[in-house]
Structure 1
Amino acid sequence: MPKQQSQSNPGEISSSSQESPPIFTDLEDTLKQIHERLGNSPDLNVRKYETLNHENHVAVMYINGLVDKELVDEYVTHALSFEEIREEAPSAADLFIFAKEKALSIGKEKVVEDQNSVLEALLSGDTIILFDKLDKGISVTTSGGEGRSVTEATTQVNIRGPKDSFTESLGTNIALVRKRIKNPNLWIETLTMGSVTKTDVSIAHIHGLAKEETLQQIRKKLADIHVDSILESGYIEQLIEENNYSPFPTLYNTERPDSVAGNLLEGRIAIFVDGTPFVLILPATFFMFFHTVEDYYQRYDITSVIRVLRFICLLVSLFGPAIFVAALNFHQEMIPTPLLINFASQREGVPFPVVIEVLLLEVTFEIIREAGIRMPSQIGQTVSIIGGLVLGQAAVQAGIVSPAMVIVVSLTGISSFATPAFNMALSIRILRFVITFVAAYIGLYGIAIVGLILVAHLCSLRSMGVPYMSPVAPFAPGDQKDIFLRAPLHFMKTRRRLLKNDKAPGATVQNSQGSRHEK
């Protein structure tokens, strides 16, 4: 992992704030200096052409792997090889005008007048055309090269719904969203971040639906980021979130285009980062992390039951081991007598206190889970299953833990998998250890105190100015149709109050998640 720097050192890498060397009128001098600034890198490809009278020379430059070579050959080098362009352009200025206005039909080109602009264009996948006896050139958009094709989502799988997911290409990701929202009000703003990496970052919103105050706040936060590198959207997530020390994520990330489209239609804003398939969505609320886009593709009654099950799993994964430890240590009277006798007989011969049992099994479970994730997919799942069965059975037979404790920890671990968002599931796993420690020393009173602290903390959080627990706190009666339960689609006709842009003209939009919203 590269070390993040708050500011680039001027002596290390040329910054855009420094004065850029000009393009020399001598073509060979310009090519030589660009080669030197790139460290004489072998992936810089240069092709040279000359007119019939051998007086005017042209150089075409691009970096292998960053350009679409078929595009370069068809629209750039092939155009410059025409006899017409060599005969009708007696001077360098004529050659420049002819190449820009007549020969190049690729569609998007711009004039570059200094070496920094040339280097930025080259490293962005553009092709540069330089002319002898002329101190400017042409940058042609030819980005392409090798890249991963659109495939099925791997972290947010679904039974029903679209199977495509984002890739590492910024242009492809934006196109996947535009296919779902064929509306001119889908506005995209692009900026460059990272003084070294020069990463393209795009902000997407639907004009008239997203709040202008929220949009301005996001622009300001992005403008205040001054780092060397942005390699993934997680960098931006950590740099713009308002609550750095909270265990709960306040920005939502997804690799599904339909999820981004649905949230845009609700008035939210998406941040795309070139080089990653994960798109940030903000503002985010706590309940977003327990909803999936598939909830809107199924009937409302099925979705409601599944959502209730998810929230039950949330409580089990967060408080399950803690309640078991508190009941055995402090509140035996709450356990039925036959069950308490069974627990006592199972613990006979176990040398550790209950809390140590829980920690041993929880840590073991986390090790197995992490190993299963990091190992190759062909054997990771097998190792997780076999490791859990073998270690659990061996621990019980060796008298290290009791069978009931294995059941409790296993149920807790399985319940944590029911949380759709991986980052929220991680937060719950961390908090589970804290709550278990408190329960071991204070009992159910400690669990109640920690629960109140968590609720108060959640109610204090904000995501880009929006309360994290909305629409429950503050309570909005009209927005309860899509929180714990999901109402039929024909009842969901209004956007959420805190996301609604009151200044926008009235409009009716069909949400990609299925709900019809009217303003």
Structure 2
Amino acid sequence: MHRNSNVQPRSNEDPYWKELEAAAIHSTAEVNLARLKRDMGDSDDLVIRPIRHPKSGNTAAAVVYIDGLSDSAAINLYIFDVLGTSLVSREDDPEWIGIQPNLEEAAKELLVGLGSIERVHQLGDLYRNLLSGEAVILIDGVSFAYRADIRKWKGREVTESTNQTSVRGPRESFTETLRVNTSLLRRKIKDPRLWLETIEIGRMTKTQVTIMYVNGLAKPAVITNVRTRLQAIDIDGVLDSGYLEELIEDAKYSLFPTVYNSELPDAVAAQLLEGKVAIVVDGTPNALVVPTELSVFFQSAEDYYQRAIYASLLRLLRFGTVFISLLFPSLYIAITTFHREMLPASLLFSLAAQREGVPFPAFVEALVMEVTFEILREAGLRMPRAIGQAVSVVGTLVIGQAAVEAGIVSAAMVIVVSITAISTFTLPSYSMSIPVRILRFAFMAAAATYGLFGIILGLFVLLLHLCSLRSFGEPFMAPLAPYNAAEMEDTIIRMPRWLSFKRPNTSLSGGSSRIRRRR
């Protein structure tokens, strides 16, 4: 099986980069520096530090780097001093001019201080290394350059997750730096079988994307599928993992995500141990995991850090709140419009009294309130954090109370919409709450048209659609469809740890024991 920890540039159709990749580094340092300045527009952050011949004044060598991406202290301490010393030390030699310094000896000395220095022969590789934060060493008289890996830029520290919070468990979350994220996963899985492959995607951004999997657990067909889909992407830039998620997912027109994303290293590490493949993108604090199942979006990392009975009850609560969020408004519309005989007489009279004077049918009431709440939710997310939450809460209370007093909606409808909205927030995955909120309107329309029959018909269509989805060749509804009793131990409820023996079938060693008891 192919594997490589180094960056693998994918074939690029951009004529500009094709020319650079085909061009060799010139043997004259001044020519290379002139080309660098011309191609980069003599940008202010392009730093060129030449070392000149003492007698002729020509450029003997030059250190080139991007200000803000490279470690300038390391350049001053190692590269510049070593090269300057190797050249200036022979200033008094009358035969010095025209004689090149011992490049191999200088490279070895640099290697001791920097730990990583390699030769570069093509301009495309030189530009790629330079723009990635590495320093490039050009020496006059040779048709190659040295690249030194001294990348150093400002990045966000590892902090607690703000979107996927938990009461018990690790607090750390991914950052925007690729190597920090892969190291967080390495800390979780200290096994040499955790393999990494890195490719570059984006004609202009050259974004590094790392594929991570546990060799022997992940299926080779899934790994090949992931690699093939990523290498087939031809796009100008990748600024977030969402770019890739949209391009590699199976059901491109489905509301439901078939790629799982998380900003928690422990959640991604747990998926890797189940035989999944993680995709880590430089510049984004979210990692993608494939293949995935529907049940994963209802599971929280905290479920595995507390007792099984507590986790199972909370998971059942989440499944229940999803049905409330999806169907509660539509059930209210169907019953109050078509099936009033299902309600007790006292409740029916109470609802009728509340609706007296309301000019709109139940469907219009629910639609107005749901749209209003979605507007307030979006406003609370986009406003400054200090006032966003207060505005969303106060706005909901004020508008709801005013709408009831004005006779536009009934008090019961406000209660239904409020319970529905609160139920949406119980989902651990934000990407799964969005399709639930969208489908809520479709079920409301079905209930207003056909009553309970429309709701049941919509559920059948939804179930058929979910059963037809696949994630990188694996059933999206597994282990419910196709049904696998052995894997139900961690789906709707979580069995105790000492009863969870088998890995899922998404793993190459599906069915093998994950717990080994000592004798």
The C-alpha deviation readout for 1:150-175, integer Å capped at 9, x for no partner, is: 11111111111111111110000000
Deviations 1:345-373 (A, max 9, x none): 11111111111100100000000000111
Distance 1:82 1:509 in 2: 58
* 1:496 aligned residue: 504
* 1:78 corresponding residue in structure 2: 81
- 2:48 aligns to what SS in structure 1? strand
Q: Deviation per CA, 1:219-278, whole angstroms, max 9, x where unpaired? A: 111121111111111111111111011110000000111011111011000001111011
SS of the residue corresponding to residue 24 of structure 1 reads coil
In 2, distance between residues paired with 1:217 and 1:20? 30
Q: Is it true that 1:60 corresponds to 2:68 in the alignment?
A: no
- The reply to whether residue 169 of structure 1 matches residue 177 of structure 2 is yes
Tell me the equivalent position of 1:104.
111
2:462 corresponds to = 454
For the 8 Å contact 1:435–1:450, the answer to whether it is kept is yes
Partner residue in 1 for 2:38: 36
Amino acid at match of 1:97: E
Q: What are the superposed Cα offsets for residues 311-361 of structure 1, whole Å, 9 maximum, x if unpaired?
A: 000000000100000001100001111111111111111111111100100
Aligned equivalents of 1:357 and 1:173: distance in 2? 47
Secondary structure, aligned partner of 1:67: coil
What residue in structure 1 maps to residue 209 of structure 2? 201
Q: Does 1:191 align with 2:199?
A: yes
SS, match of residue 441 in structure 1: helix
- The corresponding residue for 1:330 is 338
- The equivalent of 2:404 in structure 1 is 396
Matches within 5 A, 1:304-323: 304-323=312-331
> By how many angstroms is 1:464 displaced?
0.7
Could you tell me which residue of structure 2 aligns to residue 3 of structure 1? none
In the alignment, the residues of structure 2 paired with residue 117 and residue 498 of structure 1 have an alpha-carbon distance, to the nearest angstrom, of 38
For residues 10-25 of structure 1, what are the structure 2 equivalents within 5 Å?
Answer: 10=14, 14-16=16-18, 20-25=22-27
In structure 1, list runs of 5 or more residues that go unmatched.
1-6, 511-515
2:29 is aligned to 27
CA–CA distance in structure 1, aligned partners of residues 83 and 398 of structure 2? 69
CA contact (8 A) 2:258 2:471 kept: yes
Q: Counterpart of 1:271?
A: 279
Partner of 2:389: 381
Aligned-pair distance for 1:113? 1.6
Distance 1:411 1:73 in 2: 63
1:484 alignment partner AA: I
Residues 132 and 151, structure 2, Cα contact 8 Å, conserved in 1: yes
Q: Compute the displacement of 1:132 (Å).
A: 1.4
Cα distance change of structure 1 residues 17 and 245 upon mapping to structure 2, 3 Å threshold: farther
Contact preservation (8 Å) 2:54, 2:88: no
Please give the per-residue CA displacement for 1:395-446, whole angstroms capped at 9, x wherever unaligned.
1111111000000001000001111100100010000001101110100000
- Identical residues among aligned pairs (%): 42
Matches within 5 A, 1:282-361: 282-361=290-369
Residues 412-451 of structure 1 correspond to what in structure 2 (within 5 A)? Answer: 412-451=420-459
Q: Which amino acid aligns with 2:252?
A: N
Residue by residue over 1:274-305, the C-alpha shift from the partner in whole angstroms, topping out at 9 and shown as x without a partner, is 11011000101000000011100011011011
The worse-fitting range, judged by mean Cα deviation, of 72-81 and 351-360 is 72-81
Amino acid of the structure 1 residue aligned with 2:360: F
- 2:53–2:87 contact (8 Å) kept in structure 1: no
Q: Distance in 2 between matches of 1:471 and 1:93?
A: 68
- 8 Å CA contact 2:50–2:62 kept in 1: the answer is yes
CA RMSD for the aligned pairs? 2.2
Q: What secondary structure is seen at the aligned counterpart in 2 of 1:497?
A: coil
CA distance in structure 1 between the partners assigned to 2:300 and 2:293 by the alignment? 13
Question: Which residue type is aligned with residue 207 of structure 1?
Answer: N
Report if aligned partners of 1:258, 1:293 keep a CA contact under 8 Å in 2: yes
Work out the CA distance in 1 between the residues paired with 2:487 and 2:233: 35
Q: Report the alpha carbon displacement of residue 108 of structure 1 after superposing the two structures with TM.
A: 1.7
Normalising by structure 1, what TM-score?
0.92
Whole-Å separation in 1 of the counterparts to 2:150 and 2:394: 50
User: Letter of the aligned partner of 1:491 in structure 2?
Assistant: L
Q: Deviations over 1:473-509 (max 9, x none)?
A: 111111111111111101011101243436x9x7x66
CA displacement at 1:53 relative to structure 2: 5.8
Once residues 93 and 476 of structure 1 are traced to their aligned partners in structure 2, the CA distance between those partners, rounded to angstroms, is 71
Could you tell me how far 1:471 is from its partner in structure 2?
A: 0.6
Q: Over residues 67-111 of structure 1, what are the superposed CA-to-partner deviations in whole Å (9 max), with x where a residue is unaligned?
A: 122333333223334358844996665442222222333122221
Give, as a single letter, the amino acid of the residue that structure 1 aligns with 2:111.
Answer: L
